[in-house]
Structure 1
Amino acid sequence: MFASRLQILDRAKTWAFPPDCLRCGDRVEIPYGLCGPCWAEAQFIGKSCCHACGDELIGEEAAPSDLCDACLMRPPPWDAGRAVLRYEGTGRALVLALKHGDRADICRAASSWMAEKAQDWLDQNPLLVPIPLHPLRLLQRRFNQSALLAQHICRTPQFREHAITCLPDALSRLRRTAPQDGLGAEARFANLDEALALTPRHGERLRGRAVILIDDVMTSGATLWSATHALRLGGAGPIYVLVMARATKAA
Protein backbone atom coordinates (compact mmCIF):
# COMPACT_ATOMS: atom_id res chain seq x y z
CA MET A 1 0.00 0.00 0.00
CA PHE A 2 2.73 2.44 1.03
CA ALA A 3 4.84 1.58 -2.04
CA SER A 4 1.89 2.11 -4.40
CA ARG A 5 1.23 5.54 -2.85
CA LEU A 6 4.84 6.49 -3.44
CA GLN A 7 4.55 5.36 -7.07
CA ILE A 8 1.42 7.50 -7.51
CA LEU A 9 3.23 10.49 -6.01
CA ASP A 10 6.21 9.91 -8.32
CA ARG A 11 3.93 9.77 -11.37
CA ALA A 12 2.18 12.96 -10.29
CA LYS A 13 5.51 14.71 -9.78
CA THR A 14 6.72 13.60 -13.22
CA TRP A 15 3.50 14.87 -14.81
CA ALA A 16 3.72 18.24 -13.03
CA PHE A 17 7.48 18.62 -13.48
CA PRO A 18 8.68 16.77 -16.61
CA PRO A 19 12.23 15.44 -16.11
CA ASP A 20 15.23 17.06 -17.75
CA CYS A 21 18.39 15.54 -19.20
CA LEU A 22 21.10 15.46 -16.54
CA ARG A 23 23.56 17.11 -18.89
CA CYS A 24 21.83 19.52 -21.29
CA GLY A 25 18.45 20.12 -19.64
CA ASP A 26 16.30 18.92 -22.55
CA ARG A 27 13.15 16.97 -21.71
CA VAL A 28 13.52 13.21 -21.20
CA GLU A 29 11.01 10.46 -20.50
CA ILE A 30 12.72 8.96 -17.45
CA PRO A 31 13.81 11.04 -14.43
CA TYR A 32 17.55 11.26 -13.76
CA GLY A 33 18.39 10.19 -17.31
CA LEU A 34 20.14 11.45 -20.42
CA CYS A 35 18.60 12.58 -23.69
CA GLY A 36 19.46 10.70 -26.88
CA PRO A 37 22.30 12.97 -28.07
CA CYS A 38 23.95 13.15 -24.63
CA TRP A 39 23.64 9.38 -24.20
CA ALA A 40 25.18 8.84 -27.63
CA GLU A 41 28.11 11.09 -26.70
CA ALA A 42 28.66 9.35 -23.36
CA GLN A 43 31.60 6.94 -23.67
CA PHE A 44 30.61 4.11 -21.35
CA ILE A 45 33.47 1.70 -20.68
CA GLY A 46 32.58 -1.86 -21.62
CA LYS A 47 33.90 -5.25 -20.54
CA SER A 48 37.19 -4.78 -22.39
CA CYS A 49 38.96 -2.80 -19.69
CA CYS A 50 42.09 -2.83 -17.54
CA HIS A 51 41.66 -5.04 -14.47
CA ALA A 52 43.49 -2.49 -12.28
CA CYS A 53 42.41 0.99 -13.35
CA GLY A 54 39.27 0.38 -15.41
CA ASP A 55 40.61 2.12 -18.51
CA GLU A 56 39.32 0.84 -21.82
CA LEU A 57 41.39 -1.71 -23.72
CA ILE A 58 41.44 -2.51 -27.42
CA GLY A 59 39.43 -5.58 -28.37
CA GLU A 60 36.04 -7.17 -27.86
CA GLU A 61 36.54 -8.34 -24.28
CA ALA A 62 39.59 -8.42 -22.04
CA ALA A 63 40.56 -11.33 -19.83
CA PRO A 64 39.90 -10.73 -16.11
CA SER A 65 43.60 -10.18 -15.41
CA ASP A 66 44.48 -7.98 -18.42
CA LEU A 67 46.24 -4.70 -17.64
CA CYS A 68 46.81 -1.53 -19.64
CA ASP A 69 50.38 -0.46 -20.46
CA ALA A 70 50.43 2.11 -17.63
CA CYS A 71 49.42 -0.46 -15.00
CA LEU A 72 51.93 -2.98 -16.35
CA MET A 73 54.66 -0.37 -15.88
CA ARG A 74 53.40 0.79 -12.49
CA PRO A 75 50.94 -1.69 -10.94
CA PRO A 76 48.47 0.01 -8.57
CA PRO A 77 48.42 -1.15 -4.94
CA TRP A 78 44.71 -2.03 -4.95
CA ASP A 79 43.33 -5.41 -6.08
CA ALA A 80 41.02 -4.34 -8.91
CA GLY A 81 39.45 -1.19 -10.32
CA ARG A 82 36.40 -0.28 -12.37
CA ALA A 83 35.18 2.91 -14.07
CA VAL A 84 31.84 3.70 -15.72
CA LEU A 85 32.66 6.47 -18.20
CA ARG A 86 35.61 7.97 -19.98
CA TYR A 87 36.32 11.46 -18.68
CA GLU A 88 35.37 13.08 -21.97
CA GLY A 89 32.22 14.67 -23.41
CA THR A 90 29.18 13.71 -21.37
CA GLY A 91 31.30 11.92 -18.73
CA ARG A 92 33.42 15.01 -18.08
CA ALA A 93 30.40 17.31 -18.08
CA LEU A 94 28.60 15.16 -15.49
CA VAL A 95 31.63 14.94 -13.19
CA LEU A 96 32.23 18.69 -13.30
CA ALA A 97 28.55 19.46 -12.75
CA LEU A 98 28.49 17.16 -9.72
CA LYS A 99 31.73 18.50 -8.27
CA HIS A 100 31.39 22.22 -8.97
CA GLY A 101 27.77 22.80 -9.98
CA ASP A 102 25.88 21.54 -6.91
CA ARG A 103 24.27 18.85 -9.07
CA ALA A 104 23.72 16.18 -6.45
CA ASP A 105 20.90 14.77 -8.61
CA ILE A 106 23.57 13.28 -10.91
CA CYS A 107 24.36 10.79 -8.13
CA ARG A 108 21.03 9.04 -8.75
CA ALA A 109 22.06 7.88 -12.22
CA ALA A 110 25.79 7.55 -11.58
CA SER A 111 25.31 5.37 -8.50
CA SER A 112 23.18 2.92 -10.50
CA TRP A 113 25.84 2.68 -13.23
CA MET A 114 28.60 2.24 -10.65
CA ALA A 115 26.71 -0.42 -8.69
CA GLU A 116 26.46 -2.60 -11.79
CA LYS A 117 30.24 -2.49 -12.19
CA ALA A 118 30.84 -3.76 -8.64
CA GLN A 119 28.41 -6.67 -8.41
CA ASP A 120 31.05 -9.41 -8.32
CA TRP A 121 32.69 -7.82 -5.24
CA LEU A 122 29.59 -7.82 -3.05
CA ASP A 123 29.82 -11.38 -1.71
CA GLN A 124 32.88 -10.26 0.28
CA ASN A 125 30.70 -7.89 2.34
CA PRO A 126 32.86 -4.84 1.58
CA LEU A 127 32.65 -1.45 3.24
CA LEU A 128 32.25 1.56 0.94
CA VAL A 129 34.89 4.19 1.72
CA PRO A 130 34.77 7.51 -0.16
CA ILE A 131 37.85 9.64 -0.79
CA PRO A 132 37.72 12.44 1.82
CA LEU A 133 38.04 16.18 1.36
CA HIS A 134 40.10 18.40 3.64
CA PRO A 135 37.76 20.16 6.14
CA LEU A 136 38.51 23.57 4.64
CA ARG A 137 37.74 22.36 1.12
CA LEU A 138 34.59 20.66 2.40
CA LEU A 139 33.55 23.98 3.96
CA GLN A 140 34.09 25.70 0.61
CA ARG A 141 32.27 23.07 -1.47
CA ARG A 142 29.63 22.27 1.20
CA PHE A 143 29.59 18.57 0.32
CA ASN A 144 31.92 15.73 -0.62
CA GLN A 145 30.88 14.41 -4.03
CA SER A 146 32.59 11.05 -3.43
CA ALA A 147 30.68 10.57 -0.17
CA LEU A 148 27.41 11.42 -1.93
CA LEU A 149 28.14 8.82 -4.60
CA ALA A 150 28.97 6.20 -1.96
CA GLN A 151 25.77 6.87 -0.02
CA HIS A 152 23.65 6.61 -3.17
CA ILE A 153 25.41 3.39 -4.21
CA CYS A 154 24.46 1.86 -0.86
CA ARG A 155 20.80 2.56 -1.70
CA THR A 156 20.86 0.68 -5.02
CA PRO A 157 19.01 -2.67 -5.05
CA GLN A 158 22.20 -4.76 -5.42
CA PHE A 159 23.90 -3.14 -2.43
CA ARG A 160 20.77 -3.13 -0.24
CA GLU A 161 20.32 -6.85 -0.92
CA HIS A 162 23.82 -7.51 0.45
CA ALA A 163 23.38 -4.99 3.30
CA ILE A 164 26.52 -3.12 2.20
CA THR A 165 27.26 -0.08 4.35
CA CYS A 166 29.20 3.12 3.84
CA LEU A 167 31.87 4.47 6.19
CA PRO A 168 32.14 8.10 5.01
CA ASP A 169 34.79 9.17 7.54
CA ALA A 170 37.01 6.07 7.40
CA LEU A 171 39.82 8.19 5.92
CA SER A 172 41.01 11.66 6.86
CA ARG A 173 43.07 14.33 5.09
CA LEU A 174 46.16 15.09 7.17
CA ARG A 175 46.95 18.26 5.24
CA ARG A 176 45.36 20.47 2.64
CA THR A 177 46.95 19.60 -0.68
CA ALA A 178 47.22 21.86 -3.71
CA PRO A 179 44.63 21.22 -6.44
CA GLN A 180 45.66 18.37 -8.73
CA ASP A 181 44.44 20.13 -11.89
CA GLY A 182 47.31 21.06 -14.16
CA LEU A 183 49.88 18.88 -12.38
CA GLY A 184 51.82 16.15 -14.16
CA ALA A 185 51.61 12.55 -12.97
CA GLU A 186 54.73 12.64 -10.77
CA ALA A 187 53.72 15.97 -9.24
CA ARG A 188 50.28 14.53 -8.44
CA PHE A 189 51.86 11.61 -6.57
CA ALA A 190 54.21 13.92 -4.67
CA ASN A 191 51.32 16.21 -3.79
CA LEU A 192 49.35 13.34 -2.23
CA ASP A 193 52.28 11.62 -0.51
CA GLU A 194 51.10 10.67 3.01
CA ALA A 195 48.20 13.12 2.73
CA LEU A 196 45.56 10.55 3.74
CA ALA A 197 45.33 8.44 6.86
CA LEU A 198 42.99 5.99 8.51
CA THR A 199 40.69 7.64 11.05
CA PRO A 200 41.82 6.00 14.33
CA ARG A 201 38.36 5.22 15.71
CA HIS A 202 37.58 3.06 12.67
CA GLY A 203 40.73 0.96 12.83
CA GLU A 204 39.14 -2.15 14.30
CA ARG A 205 36.16 -2.02 12.00
CA LEU A 206 38.35 -1.92 8.89
CA ARG A 207 40.92 -4.52 9.90
CA GLY A 208 40.56 -7.57 7.67
CA ARG A 209 37.57 -6.10 5.79
CA ALA A 210 37.18 -5.80 2.04
CA VAL A 211 36.87 -2.17 0.98
CA ILE A 212 35.53 -0.45 -2.13
CA LEU A 213 37.12 2.97 -2.51
CA ILE A 214 34.75 5.47 -4.16
CA ASP A 215 35.78 8.56 -6.11
CA ASP A 216 34.28 10.68 -8.88
CA VAL A 217 37.20 10.55 -11.32
CA MET A 218 40.57 8.83 -11.66
CA THR A 219 43.32 10.61 -13.59
CA SER A 220 46.82 9.59 -12.47
CA GLY A 221 45.37 7.55 -9.60
CA ALA A 222 47.56 9.37 -7.04
CA THR A 223 44.70 10.03 -4.60
CA LEU A 224 43.55 6.42 -4.74
CA TRP A 225 47.15 5.20 -4.24
CA SER A 226 47.44 7.30 -1.08
CA ALA A 227 44.06 6.06 0.18
CA THR A 228 44.95 2.43 -0.53
CA HIS A 229 48.26 2.70 1.34
CA ALA A 230 46.46 4.19 4.36
CA LEU A 231 43.94 1.33 4.36
CA ARG A 232 46.68 -1.30 3.94
CA LEU A 233 48.57 0.12 6.93
CA GLY A 234 45.37 -0.32 8.93
CA GLY A 235 45.06 -3.97 7.89
CA ALA A 236 42.15 -3.61 5.44
CA GLY A 237 41.90 -5.75 2.33
CA PRO A 238 41.20 -6.73 -0.34
CA ILE A 239 40.78 -3.20 -1.69
CA TYR A 240 38.83 -2.33 -4.82
CA VAL A 241 38.46 1.00 -6.62
CA LEU A 242 35.21 2.21 -8.18
CA VAL A 243 35.03 5.56 -9.97
CA MET A 244 32.43 7.36 -12.01
CA ALA A 245 34.88 8.38 -14.75
CA ARG A 246 38.38 7.49 -15.93
CA ALA A 247 40.56 10.09 -17.60
CA THR A 248 42.48 9.18 -20.71
CA LYS A 249 46.11 8.18 -20.28
CA ALA A 250 47.20 11.47 -21.79
CA ALA A 251 45.28 13.50 -19.15
Structure 2
Amino acid sequence: MLAKGIQTALSAVYPARCLTCGAMVDSDFGLCGPCWRDTGFIGGTICDCCGVPLPGEHHGDTPHCDACMTAPRSWEQGRAALLYRDTGRKLVLALKHGDRQEIAKPAALWMASALRDCLPPQTLIAPVPLHWTRMIKRRYNQSALLAKALAAHLDLPWCPDLLQRTKPTRALDGLGGRDRHETLRGAIRAHPKRWHRLVGRPLLLVDDVMTSGATLSAATQAAQQAGSGPVRVVTLARVAKET
Protein backbone atom coordinates (compact mmCIF):
# COMPACT_ATOMS: atom_id res chain seq x y z
CA MET A 1 0.00 0.00 0.00
CA LEU A 2 2.84 2.39 0.84
CA ALA A 3 4.58 1.74 -2.46
CA LYS A 4 1.32 2.28 -4.34
CA GLY A 5 0.75 5.56 -2.50
CA ILE A 6 4.27 6.76 -3.32
CA GLN A 7 3.77 5.85 -6.97
CA THR A 8 0.48 7.76 -7.07
CA ALA A 9 2.14 10.81 -5.54
CA LEU A 10 5.00 10.66 -8.01
CA SER A 11 2.55 10.37 -10.90
CA ALA A 12 0.80 13.50 -9.72
CA VAL A 13 4.07 15.43 -9.56
CA TYR A 14 5.67 13.84 -12.62
CA PRO A 15 2.85 12.80 -14.98
CA ALA A 16 3.64 10.32 -17.74
CA ARG A 17 4.84 12.02 -20.91
CA CYS A 18 5.01 10.95 -24.54
CA LEU A 19 8.47 9.63 -25.38
CA THR A 20 8.65 11.82 -28.47
CA CYS A 21 6.82 15.11 -27.98
CA GLY A 22 6.34 15.31 -24.21
CA ALA A 23 2.54 15.43 -24.25
CA MET A 24 0.81 13.76 -21.30
CA VAL A 25 -0.08 10.09 -21.83
CA ASP A 26 -1.80 7.40 -19.77
CA SER A 27 1.30 5.44 -18.78
CA ASP A 28 5.07 5.75 -18.61
CA PHE A 29 7.14 4.99 -21.71
CA GLY A 30 4.21 5.51 -24.06
CA LEU A 31 3.41 7.52 -27.16
CA CYS A 32 0.59 10.00 -27.60
CA GLY A 33 -1.98 9.45 -30.34
CA PRO A 34 -0.38 11.69 -33.01
CA CYS A 35 3.11 10.31 -32.38
CA TRP A 36 1.78 6.74 -32.47
CA ARG A 37 0.16 7.43 -35.84
CA ASP A 38 3.49 8.78 -37.13
CA THR A 39 5.39 5.69 -35.99
CA GLY A 40 6.06 3.25 -38.81
CA PHE A 41 5.84 -0.10 -37.04
CA ILE A 42 7.07 -2.78 -39.44
CA GLY A 43 4.63 -5.60 -40.13
CA GLY A 44 3.12 -7.63 -42.92
CA THR A 45 5.44 -9.10 -45.53
CA ILE A 46 9.10 -8.41 -44.81
CA CYS A 47 12.48 -9.53 -46.08
CA ASP A 48 13.55 -12.44 -43.89
CA CYS A 49 17.19 -11.31 -44.04
CA CYS A 50 17.08 -7.59 -43.30
CA GLY A 51 13.52 -6.91 -42.08
CA VAL A 52 12.65 -4.31 -44.71
CA PRO A 53 8.94 -4.23 -45.68
CA LEU A 54 8.03 -5.82 -49.02
CA PRO A 55 5.03 -5.08 -51.25
CA GLY A 56 2.24 -7.60 -51.69
CA GLU A 57 1.87 -11.02 -50.14
CA HIS A 58 4.25 -13.94 -50.39
CA HIS A 59 3.29 -17.58 -50.15
CA GLY A 60 5.58 -20.58 -49.94
CA ASP A 61 9.16 -19.40 -50.37
CA THR A 62 10.80 -17.24 -47.70
CA PRO A 63 10.67 -13.65 -49.00
CA HIS A 64 13.85 -11.67 -49.61
CA CYS A 65 14.35 -8.13 -50.88
CA ASP A 66 16.29 -7.40 -54.07
CA ALA A 67 19.34 -6.19 -52.12
CA CYS A 68 19.58 -9.38 -50.06
CA MET A 69 19.16 -11.57 -53.15
CA THR A 70 21.84 -9.61 -55.02
CA ALA A 71 24.31 -9.61 -52.13
CA PRO A 72 23.39 -12.29 -49.56
CA ARG A 73 23.87 -11.31 -45.93
CA SER A 74 26.39 -12.98 -43.65
CA TRP A 75 23.71 -13.57 -41.00
CA GLU A 76 20.69 -15.90 -41.16
CA GLN A 77 17.72 -13.67 -40.32
CA GLY A 78 17.15 -10.01 -39.59
CA ARG A 79 14.32 -8.05 -38.04
CA ALA A 80 13.54 -4.41 -37.21
CA ALA A 81 10.74 -2.87 -35.18
CA LEU A 82 10.30 0.55 -36.85
CA LEU A 83 10.92 2.38 -40.07
CA TYR A 84 13.64 5.01 -39.70
CA ARG A 85 11.48 8.03 -40.41
CA ASP A 86 9.10 10.36 -38.56
CA THR A 87 8.70 9.16 -34.95
CA GLY A 88 11.03 6.20 -35.50
CA ARG A 89 13.86 8.51 -36.52
CA LYS A 90 13.21 10.85 -33.59
CA LEU A 91 13.33 7.96 -31.13
CA VAL A 92 16.60 6.61 -32.50
CA LEU A 93 18.28 10.02 -32.46
CA ALA A 94 17.01 10.79 -28.97
CA LEU A 95 18.34 7.47 -27.67
CA LYS A 96 21.63 7.76 -29.53
CA HIS A 97 22.52 11.42 -29.11
CA GLY A 98 20.01 12.90 -26.66
CA ASP A 99 20.79 10.83 -23.54
CA ARG A 100 17.21 9.53 -23.58
CA GLN A 101 18.16 6.15 -22.15
CA GLU A 102 14.62 5.45 -20.96
CA ILE A 103 13.62 4.86 -24.59
CA ALA A 104 15.43 1.50 -24.51
CA LYS A 105 12.73 -0.10 -22.36
CA PRO A 106 9.71 0.31 -24.70
CA ALA A 107 11.96 -0.06 -27.75
CA ALA A 108 13.00 -3.51 -26.55
CA LEU A 109 9.34 -4.54 -26.29
CA TRP A 110 8.78 -3.55 -29.92
CA MET A 111 11.93 -5.38 -30.98
CA ALA A 112 10.88 -8.50 -29.06
CA SER A 113 7.58 -8.44 -30.94
CA ALA A 114 9.42 -8.24 -34.27
CA LEU A 115 11.48 -11.29 -33.28
CA ARG A 116 8.57 -13.59 -32.52
CA ASP A 117 9.32 -17.23 -33.42
CA CYS A 118 12.80 -16.33 -34.74
CA LEU A 119 15.14 -17.30 -31.93
CA PRO A 120 16.28 -20.83 -31.05
CA PRO A 121 16.71 -21.77 -27.36
CA GLN A 122 19.83 -20.61 -25.56
CA THR A 123 20.43 -17.74 -27.96
CA LEU A 124 23.05 -15.34 -26.62
CA ILE A 125 22.29 -11.62 -27.09
CA ALA A 126 25.09 -9.12 -27.71
CA PRO A 127 25.22 -5.47 -28.80
CA VAL A 128 27.20 -4.01 -31.66
CA PRO A 129 30.20 -2.42 -29.88
CA LEU A 130 31.38 1.17 -29.72
CA HIS A 131 35.05 2.15 -29.82
CA TRP A 132 36.25 3.28 -26.40
CA THR A 133 36.89 6.83 -27.62
CA ARG A 134 33.27 7.19 -28.70
CA MET A 135 32.07 5.55 -25.50
CA ILE A 136 33.89 8.18 -23.46
CA LYS A 137 32.25 10.95 -25.48
CA ARG A 138 28.73 9.46 -25.40
CA ARG A 139 29.01 7.80 -21.94
CA TYR A 140 26.92 4.78 -22.97
CA ASN A 141 26.37 2.39 -25.85
CA GLN A 142 22.77 2.71 -27.01
CA SER A 143 22.93 -0.75 -28.59
CA ALA A 144 23.95 -2.23 -25.23
CA LEU A 145 20.97 -0.55 -23.55
CA LEU A 146 18.68 -2.12 -26.13
CA ALA A 147 20.37 -5.52 -25.82
CA LYS A 148 20.07 -5.53 -22.03
CA ALA A 149 16.38 -4.60 -22.08
CA LEU A 150 15.68 -7.09 -24.86
CA ALA A 151 17.41 -9.90 -22.97
CA ALA A 152 15.23 -9.15 -19.95
CA HIS A 153 12.03 -9.25 -22.05
CA LEU A 154 13.02 -12.50 -23.75
CA ASP A 155 14.53 -14.11 -20.63
CA LEU A 156 17.75 -14.84 -22.52
CA PRO A 157 21.40 -14.30 -21.53
CA TRP A 158 23.37 -11.37 -22.85
CA CYS A 159 27.00 -10.27 -22.90
CA PRO A 160 27.68 -6.51 -23.15
CA ASP A 161 31.30 -6.88 -24.28
CA LEU A 162 31.17 -10.04 -26.38
CA LEU A 163 32.53 -8.00 -29.31
CA GLN A 164 35.08 -5.19 -29.38
CA ARG A 165 35.56 -2.22 -31.68
CA THR A 166 39.31 -2.41 -32.22
CA LYS A 167 39.83 0.82 -34.14
CA PRO A 168 37.99 4.14 -34.40
CA THR A 169 36.15 4.70 -37.66
CA ARG A 170 34.76 7.81 -39.29
CA ALA A 171 31.03 8.48 -39.10
CA LEU A 172 29.16 6.44 -41.69
CA ASP A 173 26.54 9.08 -42.44
CA GLY A 174 26.61 10.06 -46.10
CA LEU A 175 28.67 7.04 -47.20
CA GLY A 176 27.44 4.52 -49.73
CA GLY A 177 27.16 0.83 -48.95
CA ARG A 178 30.55 -0.12 -50.42
CA ASP A 179 32.36 2.67 -48.53
CA ARG A 180 30.60 1.70 -45.30
CA HIS A 181 31.76 -1.90 -45.63
CA GLU A 182 35.30 -0.80 -46.45
CA THR A 183 35.42 1.61 -43.51
CA LEU A 184 34.45 -1.18 -41.10
CA ARG A 185 36.84 -3.79 -42.48
CA GLY A 186 38.74 -5.27 -39.53
CA ALA A 187 37.20 -2.85 -37.04
CA ILE A 188 35.35 -5.43 -34.91
CA ARG A 189 36.53 -8.62 -33.26
CA ALA A 190 35.35 -11.06 -30.60
CA HIS A 191 36.61 -10.21 -27.12
CA PRO A 192 39.55 -12.58 -26.41
CA LYS A 193 38.15 -13.35 -22.94
CA ARG A 194 34.57 -13.95 -24.16
CA TRP A 195 35.13 -16.41 -27.02
CA HIS A 196 34.07 -19.35 -24.88
CA ARG A 197 30.58 -17.85 -24.54
CA LEU A 198 29.82 -17.80 -28.27
CA VAL A 199 31.49 -20.93 -29.67
CA GLY A 200 28.85 -23.00 -31.41
CA ARG A 201 26.04 -20.95 -29.86
CA PRO A 202 23.15 -19.13 -31.58
CA LEU A 203 23.75 -15.38 -31.42
CA LEU A 204 21.49 -12.34 -31.71
CA LEU A 205 23.25 -9.07 -32.53
CA VAL A 206 21.50 -5.85 -31.52
CA ASP A 207 21.92 -2.37 -33.01
CA ASP A 208 19.88 0.82 -33.06
CA VAL A 209 19.42 1.24 -36.82
CA MET A 210 20.27 -0.62 -40.02
CA THR A 211 21.07 1.30 -43.20
CA SER A 212 23.29 -0.77 -45.49
CA GLY A 213 23.94 -3.43 -42.87
CA ALA A 214 27.71 -2.84 -42.97
CA THR A 215 28.13 -2.61 -39.19
CA LEU A 216 26.07 -5.72 -38.57
CA SER A 217 28.01 -7.55 -41.29
CA ALA A 218 31.33 -6.69 -39.64
CA ALA A 219 30.01 -7.81 -36.26
CA THR A 220 28.58 -11.02 -37.71
CA GLN A 221 31.83 -11.90 -39.44
CA ALA A 222 33.79 -11.28 -36.23
CA ALA A 223 31.47 -13.64 -34.33
CA GLN A 224 31.65 -16.29 -37.03
CA GLN A 225 35.44 -16.12 -37.16
CA ALA A 226 35.42 -16.81 -33.41
CA GLY A 227 33.28 -19.91 -33.96
CA SER A 228 29.75 -18.74 -33.21
CA GLY A 229 26.65 -20.66 -34.19
CA PRO A 230 23.96 -19.14 -36.46
CA VAL A 231 23.77 -15.35 -36.21
CA ARG A 232 20.58 -13.31 -36.31
CA VAL A 233 20.27 -9.54 -36.09
CA VAL A 234 17.68 -7.07 -34.85
CA THR A 235 17.53 -3.29 -34.85
CA LEU A 236 15.15 -0.75 -33.43
CA ALA A 237 14.77 0.91 -36.84
CA ARG A 238 15.39 0.11 -40.50
CA VAL A 239 16.16 2.61 -43.23
CA ALA A 240 13.91 1.88 -46.22
CA LYS A 241 13.16 3.63 -49.48
CA GLU A 242 9.90 5.47 -49.70
CA THR A 243 7.33 3.61 -51.79
Q: Same fold (TM over 0.5)?
A: yes
Unaligned runs of 5+ in 1: none
- Contact 1:85/1:246 (<8 A) preserved: yes
Q: 2:217 aligns with which of 208, 219, 225?
A: 225
For 2:71 and 2:150, the matched residues in 1 are separated by 29
CA 1:112–1:200 in 2, change beyond 3 Å: closer, same or farther?
A: same
Matching residue of 2:34: 37
Matched, 1:127 2:119: no
Flag structure 2 segments of 5+ consecutive residues without an equivalent.
none
Number of equivalenced pairs? 242
2:47 to 50, 53, 56: 50
The alignment's TM-score, normalised by the length of structure 1, stands at 0.91
Residue 152 of structure 2: aligned partner = 155
> Is this contact kept in 1: 2:120–2:202, CA < 8 A?
no
**Residue type of the alignment partner of 1:73:** T
> Is 2:185 the partner of 1:193?
yes
Query: Structure 1 residues 82 and 8 mapped into 2: Cα distance closer, same or farther (>3 Å)?
Result: farther
Query: Could you say which residue in structure 2 is the equivalent of 1:101?
Result: 98
1: CA distance, partners of 2:148 / 2:56? 34
The alpha-carbon deviation at position 166 of structure 1 amounts to: 1.0
Identical aligned residues as a percent: 44
Q: CA–CA distance in 2 between the matches of 1:103 and 1:167?
A: 22
Whether the 8 Å contact between 1:130 and 1:215 is mirrored in structure 2 is yes
2:110 to 103, 110, 113: 113
Residue in 1 that maps onto 2:236: 244
Does the 8 Å CA contact 1:130/1:150 hold for their aligned counterparts? yes
- Once the two structures are overlaid, the 10-residue window that deviates more, 6-15 or 230-239, is 6-15
2:85 aligned residue: 88
Q: Is the 8 A contact 2:81 2:236 kept in 1?
A: yes
Q: CA deviation at 1:14?
A: 2.2
1:74 matches 2:71: yes
Post-superposition Cα deviations, 1:142-192, rounded to whole Å, max 9, x if no partner, equal: 000000011111222xx12xxx11101000011101000111111101100
Give CA-to-partner distance per residue, 1:37-84, whole Å, 9 cap, x none. 110011110031100000000124676721001111111110000000
Partner Cα distance (2:12, 2:109) in 1:
23
Pair 63,95 (structure 1): closer, same or farther in 2 beyond 3 Å: farther
- Letter of the aligned partner of 1:50 in structure 2? C
Query: Residues of 2 paired with 1:219 and 1:237: CA distance?
Result: 24
Q: Retained in 2: the 8 A contact 1:198–1:230?
A: yes
Q: Distance in 2 between matches of 1:16 and 1:243?
A: 34
Q: Which runs of structure 2 are paired with 1:173-184 in the superposition (5 Å)?
A: 173-184=165-176
Q: TM-score, normalised by structure 2?
A: 0.94
Kindly provide the amino acid, as one letter, of the partner of residue 179 in structure 2.
A
Q: Deviations over 1:126-148 (max 9, x none)?
A: 11110000000000000000000
Counterpart AA for 1:168? P
Cα RMSD, aligned residues only: 1.7
The answer as to 2:204 corresponding to 1:212 is yes
SS at 1:223's partner residue?
helix
Compare the two structures and name the one with the higher helix fraction. 1
